[in-house]
Amino acid sequence: MIKHDNRFFLFVIALFCAMPSLSVYIYLPAVKNIAEKLNTTSSLVNQSTSLFMIGFCLAMVFWGSLSDRIGRKKTLTIGLFLTVLGSYLCTRSNNLEFFAVARLIQGFGISSGTIIGMSIVRDHFKGNVLTSSLASIMLVIGFSPMLSPSIGSAIMYFFNNWHYIYYAISIYAIVNICLCLLIKESHQPSQNNKTFMDEIKAYSVLFSNNKFILYSLCSGLAFACYFAYVSISSTVIIGVFHFSNSFFSLCIPFNICGMLLSNFLIKRQLKKTEETGSLIILGFISSILGITICASSGYIYLTVYGMILGMLFITFGMSLFQTLFTSKGLSYVKENVGTANAINNIFRFGLASVGAFVINQFDGIFLMKALPTLHVIILCIILTLFSIIHRKSQKVDIILN
């Protein structure tokens, strides 16, 4: 039995949480091949990711409340079995419509990993220990998008058949089912008996928690900023600039280095002090620098190298926001943690889905111009929301003093 004080505990949780990113990244080298087999375009195949994210978000409401009701382990097991089913159906697809529906089912099941994984961590940890734990998990998760494109490219190289990519996802889900059986149930039995009205009340209470909602929105927007790039990366790098799958498999890991560095920096900072304001400022500076590089690359120089470099700085800044804002938001939640994680991830992946849909309305070289424009809009919204949170905190301090 793997307990929460075991050195492998956070690694196992990270494996649960990494399933969505693996499922999104591993298939990217095969987008062109999938489009050819399904007699469609790469852009339409990429838009199936939006449907995957919709299924992902819709399921979060279900998984969050169900885990609060029957426990984390049972809920996760059900979700992982559904992931295997959805992945298998992807391999049976003969047209884009069936493929999109299969990805919807896959997304519905995969979302259980993120929701339950984060809920288990929140069950065990609070405060800066929670922030540090989330940073550790994000460090492990960061390797998923680094390795996934390479795994996808290797599968396409050896098998030359995109079906095997979804077989690999099924195997990963089965491994996680086995790991789920080894961890201890973290949910308190006294919280398991809930009626439908209790669930409605839980959502109502959480949505009235202004700081939790605002921090969750900021975290979601930060992820949307990065995911917009992910959704068009293969189209731009392989489709527009005609680079190889091997080159593409190196581009995503290069950007993910920003995510790894940001979470390493958070862990290091928390060992010295509890103050995180300087990290948030650093996030804004890094994001502005990255957007400037991306904009000059898209509007002036038209080079993919500038876009990749700019995204390194944007990923660094937005990853700081993601971890810090998620932790701060959850710190204001005292009960119904599973439901709170559901709301947090609905914002995160829902906004990512919207961002991916908007950016994929453009095509070809125009994608490089649309990307920094979208990033500017998102960063301005994050800055506005953070200012609102800061003003609310100042008012509370004035009242208390």
CATH label of the domain that carries residue 139: 1.20.1250.20
pLDDT mean over 57-72: 82
Q: 127's torsion region: left (phi>0), alpha (psi -120 to 50) or beta?
A: left
**193 located within any domain:** no
Cβ neighbours for 148, distance < 8 A, ≥ 6 positions apart: 21, 22, 24, 25, 26, 28, 252
For range 66-70, the mean pLDDT: 82
Backbone angles phi, psi at 2, to 5 degrees: -95, 110
Domain-located, residue 194: no
Give ∠ CA 148-376-29 in degrees, rounded to 5.
Answer: 20
Could you report the per-residue pLDDT of 374-390, keeping only the tens digit for each? 999 999 999 999 899 88
Q: How confident is the model at residue 78 (pLDDT cuts 50, 70, 90)?
A: very high
Question: Could you please report the per-residue DSSP string of 56-106?
Answer: HHHHHHHHHHHHHHH-HHHHHHHHHHHHHHHHHHHHT--SHHHHHHHHHHH
Q: Determine the pLDDT at residue 401.
A: 46
As a whole number of angstroms, the distance between CA 157 and CA 209 comes to 50
- Quick one: average pLDDT of 12-23? 89
Strand partners, 183: 2
Structural domain count, the chain: 1
Please give the backbone phi and psi of residue 187, each rounded to the nearest 5 degrees, phi first: -85, 135
Global pTM? Answer: 0.75
Q: How confident is the model at residue 84 (pLDDT cuts 50, 70, 90)?
A: very high
3 domain-assigned: no
What is the pLDDT at residue 165?
94
Structure token pair of residue 258: 């920003």
Report the chain's mean pLDDT, rounded to a whole number.
86
Q: Which domain holds residue 282?
A: 9-184+199-400
Does residue 340 fall inside a structural domain?
Answer: yes
How far, CA to CA in Å, does 257 sit from each of 35, 279, 368? 30, 17, 21
90 lies in some domain: yes
Q: What's the rounded mean pLDDT across residues 134-150?
A: 80
Strand partners for 2: 183
Whether the predicted pLDDT of 50 surpasses 90: no
Q: Is it the case that residue 306 has pLDDT exceeding 70?
A: yes
**Confidence at residue 320, expressed as pLDDT on a 0 to 100 scale:** 93
How many of the other CB atoms lie within 10 Å of CB of 355?
Answer: 27
